[in-house]
Amino acid sequence: MGVSNTLKASILLTFFFSSLSIFAQGQKFRVTLDAGHGGKDFGAVYHGHIEKNIALGVVQKVGKILDGTPGFDVVYTRKTDVFIELVERANIANRADSHIFVSIHCNANKNTAAEGTETYVMGMNKNASNLEAAKRENSVITLEKDYKQKYEGYDPSSPETMIGVELMQEEFLDNSITLASKIQDMFVRSLSKKSRGVKQAPFMVLHKAYMPRVLIEMGFISNPKDGAFLDSEEGQEDMAKAIANAIIGYKKEYFGSGNYDPANERPSQRISDTPVTQSPTPVAVPERNVPERNVPEPAVAENPSGSVVFKIQISASGTKLATTPSNFKGLSGVSVQSFGGKYKYYYGDTSDYQAARQKLSEAKTKGFPSAYVVAFRNGQQISLDEALKK
């Protein structure tokens, strides 16, 4: 007896919707979550609080929230108490073709009064405290077998030995800064945490991940109050919600609320040697600002002589705003330029680096504490190292 037309149609519809489901799963925004340390690497240990356990607890909770959010797919570098080599953590994210990589840690300091959260992006920065943080986290490579050969003589006590050329090829810096900014902002707004800012440092775990990536220091377990909070179920739930909400906000800003998977934007398809400026974080423009109406977009000045022009980047946003002083805390002479659907706002325009530093001071005084100097030659952004070469 033949199969009825109704049954055939039912089978076809079931197959069709199953195929759509599989297709949709392949289009999800993929996040690799990395719980710092693990196994024989305990991380920081203070007052009975163990970094590897806290990091894993928070990562599992962040993953649970994202797994329950439509449009997300979560990859873990570790889901149990195991030791994973630093480069392998990055390789897990690369093989998964993840859109972002988030490494979660706890801070520590001999000064037990130290407190607050900070989020790092990959970069070389001479700030002593940033380098100390990198040295502490990078020292784990000494637990790896044949680390001297594997890391080509890299000395974890001297992050400056990392290959400078590769540091200047940070294609994903802007997006990393945006993600880090959202995380720090969420810690402040939802948890009233003290923000120590978005910083740059040469973390080995970020070095080889080819996508926007950040390393979060959730607080100081050396601080009795912070440590007790981070080692509690409630504290880990609160931190996880803040981190997850920041990631969700980042996805919405850059990729919308639906699924996302254009091949030309996947990390494995976008590894290139595009140089960008090493910098601290820009500040998002407050929502109360007025959207632009028919205001011409000032272009970045081009100098036919090939000399360098310095500007102060004060913010970056997905919204185009009128460059009136009222939108930028009273700063006049603000210009804007579009970069791939994102708008960057600049203050000042000078060929004198010292004058640019003065403009930077003015911008910070006006309420843009994370503003920074950028350089252009013939309308193209170049690194400050290149700009300041004699």
| Residues 356 and 256 grouped into a single domain | no
The phi-psi region of residue 66 (left if phi > 0; otherwise alpha if psi is between -120 and 50; otherwise beta) is alpha
> Into how many domains does the chain fold?
2
Instruction: State the residue range of the domain holding 327.
Output: 308-387
pTM: 0.57
CA 151 – CA 154 distance, rounded (Å): 5
Residue-level pLDDT, tens digit, the chain, 390 residues: 444 555 444 544 444 444 333 334 446 899 999 999 999 989 999 999 999 999 999 999 999 999 999 999 999 999 999 999 888 888 899 889 899 999 999 999 999 999 999 999 886 554 444 445 444 455 444 444 554 544 554 554 555 444 443 433 345 788 888 899 999 999 999 999 999 999 887 777 787 788 899 999 999 999 999 999 999 999 999 999 999 999 999 998 877 665 443 333 344 333 332 232 333 333 333 333 433 333 333 333 444 456 899 999 887 766 778 888 888 888 888 999 887 667 888 999 999 888 988 888 888 888 776 677 888 888 888 877 677 765
Compute φ and ψ for 77, nearest 5 degrees: -75, -30
| Residues 260 and 346 grouped into a single domain | no
| Residues 71 and 203 grouped into a single domain | yes
In a domain, residue 38? The reply is: yes
| Residues 24 and 135 grouped into a single domain | yes
| Residues 333 and 238 grouped into a single domain | no
The phi-psi region of residue 41 (left if phi > 0; otherwise alpha if psi is between -120 and 50; otherwise beta) is beta
Which CATH number covers residue 81? Answer: 3.40.630.40
Last residue of a domain, one of 217, 251, 269: 269
| Residues 250 and 346 grouped into a single domain | no
